[in-house]
Amino acid sequence: MKVQTKTAHFTNPLYLESGRIIEPYDITYETYGELNSDKSNVIWVTHALTGSHHAAGTYENETKAGWWDALIGSGKALDTDKYFIICTNVIGSCFGSTGPISDDYATQVPYRYKFPVVTIKDMVKAQKILFDSLGIYKLEAIVGGSMGGMQALQAAVDFPSFAKKIIALATTHATRPWAIAFNKIAQEALLEDPAFKKGQYDPADIKITGLVGLAVGRMAGHISFLSPDSMDKKFGREYKRTDGLYELFGKFQVESYLEYNGYNFTKWLDPLSYLYITKAINIFDLSRGYDSLEEALERIKSKLFLISFEADLLFEPKESKEIYDIMQDIHPKQQSSYLNVNSSYGHDAFLVEVDKFENYIRKALDA
């Protein structure tokens, strides 16, 4: 599979929902497969909170493949023998696109807290500008899960004629208090960590030492990505073999797992980017600017395919079902479709249980 990573630079101002602007700005993106002569075989893959443009394949000297490698590639559901896949890194991220740790053009020092709040709508707008610059004006599909699903839905509303199909997994039309609450724990833990230095930390130091506050917050967040059943199956009541049961700080396997993922996470995701992106997730509401959700969804012209997961505690199946039901009422001839996957894994099933929904995506693309 041919994997190419590029960064596009834009000098025109990006006007944000808040009324502020970002100027200039970069968007990093990765492509897989070959673009056909009339540019009609393009699929846009949108990433989640901790994702990046690196969705599939491996770089030189890299052992871990991109985050959706099971879905993207030759003969896979997003078949690179047939489609040209583009995965773009969102504005506000720390993986190449302009974000809070990027240098402000005017001062040549990192934005940090001077970076404006960006929304899912802003992220989609910036990425649409990228596609326009590439001469791509029509997509076969937009596919994304969690925050990626939010972007897919937002694009369907804001640019109704852009994509033939929208495939949104494990997502919602508006972030609910349950998800916001988990993000609040991570935010507070991060802000109260002295090493965060009120946003004035040295990114090079964080990559070496990590950040305790963000690690603790990530542990809380990680719980919301799983489910009680998946934790039972994954860990049971197994104890760490090198720890004694009656040692005060002896650990169960689930505790070691959360520690490992929490502290490792802080060494590769910038804490300011985490704050800005979780803010975008928290304030996401597809109906903002419209009188109702129905009015927003009426704008959609794409065929809409929704996938939820039975044990998803973060974005429950009923949230996708609500979108589907409304679409059935207002667009009965548009052939919207909904699949609730029988899974006990939890929210992250959209990343790890690809075998349970890949055929649905194949059929959606062939529809």
**237: which 2 tokens?**
């009541």
DSSP three-state, residue 14: strand
Do 305 and 337 form a contact (C-beta atoms < 8 A)? yes
Do 201 and 252 form a contact (C-beta atoms < 8 A)? no
The CA-to-CA distance between both ends of the chain, in Å, stands at 25
**Cα dihedral across residues 27, 32, 38, 42: positive or negative:** negative
> CA 324, CA 105: separation in Å to the nearest integer?
44
CA 160 from centre of chain: 21
> CA 205, CA 137: separation in Å to the nearest integer?
42
Do 111 and 100 form a contact (C-beta atoms < 8 A)? yes
A 10 A CB-CB count for 40 gives 13
Question: What helix, strand, coil percent values describe the chain, rounded to 5?
Answer: 40, 20, 45
Do 65 and 163 form a contact (C-beta atoms < 8 A)? no
Do 125 and 154 form a contact (C-beta atoms < 8 A)? no
- In what helix (H) or strand (E) does residue 10 lie, and over which residues does it extend? strand 3-10
Catalytic annotation, residues: 146, 312, 347
